[in-house]
A = this chain, B = another copy of it.
Amino acid sequence: MPTIRDVAKEAGVSVATVSRVINSNGYVNEDTKKKVVKAIQLLNYKPNAVARSLFKKQSMTIGLIIPDITNPFFPQLARAVEDVTNDKGYTIILGNSDESSEKEKEYLDIFEQKYVDGIILATNTLTSEQIAALEKPVVAVDRPIDSGIPTVVAQHRDGAHVAVKHLVGIGCQTIAHIRGPEHVVSADERYKGYLDIVQNQQWYSEQLVVSGNYTIKDAYKASLNLIKERPDIDGIFAGNDLMAIGALKAARELKKKVPEELAIIGFDGIDMCETTYPELSTIVQPVYEIGVTAANMLIDLIENKRVNNQYFEYPVQLKVRNSTRGQTPKNCG
């Protein structure tokens, strides 16, 4: 790989001049500029990003930490982040944390050492002190960390209200909740939202809430028990779509008709909802938009632009499909 010196020699100018033209920076005569450009093309010169980073203390890369790219919610988010940052010349380093604060810390260290310019974080385990110590822009997505940190999330709690009210609206009398992992903010919020609506109903009991760990499998098992123990349940609000799918599976196995005997609704709006049978009603989060907003905000922060609003809470949307309504002859979905 040719260096800036090679280009300078080839063009018969100094490295400073070459630097000026590649950065469109400072005065440089039209003719010399042409010479330099020609030399650059001749040698197929590309500036060394590492050397540049060392000097500038920035790398044009942003770090993205998510729990697990394998969880269907996150690829969309990652894609959004990549799309907008890439557009502005940034490149992204991806880290799966598995919700482990160890791993997260490791990544943060690496990000620091690599002069990453900013970080997007979907996590709970980090404290705001740790984040402040980074001295870099950070935006939290999906799960708020601390009011001091720029954040983009969905209205988890409100979404839960909508979901549960929808179940009530279609006539459910006993509504259970399969909740996500403890201490995961989104799961807690959705659970609270459920409680807001049901806890004063006389049919409500703590027995109606089980844990599904945000996974199909755990939710499947939990649902099996739940439905057996409380055959009167006629509605389930699952904390995410994967768990709703697990519940669907359990219902099928126990010959509970969905939605006639048991209505099920999820949360997130992942693609799988449209491929289950019956198709799954859900509360759709604007994942891609969340990612876009977070990425844009981060870049503004990095580039020291004014960021008026540092907290975005996106409304969610009820999407009714067949898991919460009778089959209509045509136009299903």
Contact = CB atoms under 8 A, between A and B. Distances in A.
A46 B274 CA distance: 48
Contact of A92 (B48, B74, B93, B112): B93
Nearest to A248: B275
A91 interface: yes
A216 B59 contact: no
A132 interface: no
Interface string A91-131: 11111100000000000011011110000000000000000
A53 interface: yes
A79 interface: yes
A48 B51 CA distance: 12
Copies of this chain in its oligomeric complex:
2
Interface in A49-84: 49-51, 53-54, 59, 61, 68-70, 72, 74-76, 78-79, 82-83
Nearest to A249: B275
Contacts of A114: 49-50, 59, 61, 91
Q: Taking each of A82, A216, A272, which has the highest tally of chain B beta carbons within 10 Å of its own beta carbon?
A: A272
Interface of A: 1, 46-51, 53-54, 59, 61, 68-70, 72, 74-76, 78-79, 82-83, 86, 91-96, 109-110, 112-115, 216, 245, 248-249, 252, 271-272, 274-277
Given A46-B112, A50-B115, 13 more contacts: A1-B112, A46-B109, A50-B53, A50-B114, A69-B69, A70-B79, A72-B271, A79-B96, A82-B94, A91-B114, A245-B275, A249-B275, A252-B277
